[in-house]
Amino acid sequence: MPNGSGFVRFLYNKFSDLLAEAMNPTDAQSYLGKIHSTHHQGNCKDACYECLKVFRNMNYHSLLDWRLGLSMMRILNDSTYKCGADGIFNQHVELNGWLEFATSLRKGFAESFGMRTVDVVQGLPIIKWHARDKNVILIVHPFWDMKNMREANWIAEIKNELGEYTRSRGGKLSIVDTFNLHRRPGWCYEKLVRNG
């Protein structure tokens, strides 16, 4: 319709179809098909000029993330979607390589701020720091609700294990998500030092 009217009605009527196409494109040569391609996954961790970045949205480049966008769509479409909280990272395109990405962020953060002890607990990257490695930083996905876990699961076990470790040494467990660690490591460090 003229002047854009009708878009909201179209979205309302076709929402489930649009979500399904965004999550599993039927045309590999379409815009969404190219975002899902193996080539794009390997070259783009969050956003690039082949997917989301353009000159007009330059002010928001640091916030754009096609992987988080796909995860959000999957959450809207499926209430059972765990977003990797079940320890499975190879079922959906947006989670492929997340553990490796989190591990590389951890390495860069630890090197930047002189933290020497890096480790892995049940598959998740951590950093131990301070005297006697009493403090621990657990690196998680931004969509994991670490404060209000309602069920015993893989992440709850890791959090409890690390909580016991830090309590026994008089330290503190800190949780940093990859969204913030990737975009504002200095802010993350400042929060850790102030609260640690």
CATH of the domain at 134: 3.40.960
In a domain, 114, yes or no: yes
Give residue 2's pLDDT. 65
Q: Which of 93, 167, 154 is nearest to 121 (CA)?
A: 154
Domain boundary among 26, 47, 81: 81
Domain span at residue 146 reads 99-195
In a domain, 156, yes or no: yes
pLDDT in tens, 122-170: 989 999 988 888 999 999 999 998 887 777 788 888 999 999 999 999 9
CA dist., res. 2 & res. 10, Å (int): 14
Residues 105 and 191 in one domain: yes
Question: What distance in Å separates the CA atoms of residue 139 and residue 105, rounded to the nearest whole number?
Answer: 9
The verdict on residue 25 lying in a domain is: yes
Q: What is the pTM of this model?
A: 0.87
Q: Give per-residue pLDDT as tens, 36-94.
A: 999 999 999 999 999 999 999 999 999 999 999 999 999 988 888 989 988 899 999 99
Among residues 81, 112, 142, the one where a domain terminates is: 81
Give the strand pairing for 173-177 and 124-129. unpaired
